[in-house]
A = this chain, B = another copy of it.
Amino acid sequence: MKQDVEKKIIDAARELFYEKGFTGVTVRDIANKAEVNLALLHYYFRTKDKIFEIVFKEAFALLFKKLNKALSSDVNLLEKIKLIVESYITAATKYPQLASFIMHEMSVNKDVVWQIIYSQEGKKDVNDNYNRFFQEIVDAGQNGIIKNIDPKILFIDIMSLSLFPFMANAFLTGFLYSEKKAEYNEMIKNRINRTCDLIINDLKV
Chain A residues within CB distance 8 Å of chain B = 19-21, 23-24, 97, 100, 102-104, 106-108, 110, 114, 117, 130, 152-153, 155-157, 159-161, 163-165, 167-172, 174-177, 183, 187, 194, 197-198, 201-202
- 16 chain-A/chain-B pairs, Cβ below 8 angstroms: A21-B24, A24-B108, A97-B107, A100-B104, A100-B107, A103-B167, A106-B171, A106-B174, A117-B174, A152-B177, A156-B172, A156-B187, A160-B163, A163-B168, A164-B167, A167-B167
Judge whether A157 and B161 touch: CB under 8 Å. yes
**CB of A165 to closest CB in B, whole Å:** 6
Closest to A190 in B: B153
Nearest-Cβ distance from residue A105 to partner chain B, whole angstroms = 9
Within the complex, what minimum Cβ distance (angstroms) separates A79 from chain B? 21
CB < 8 Å: which of B104, B107, B172, B202 contacts A202?
B202
Looking at A164, A171, A198, the one whose CB has the most chain B CB atoms below 10 A away is A164
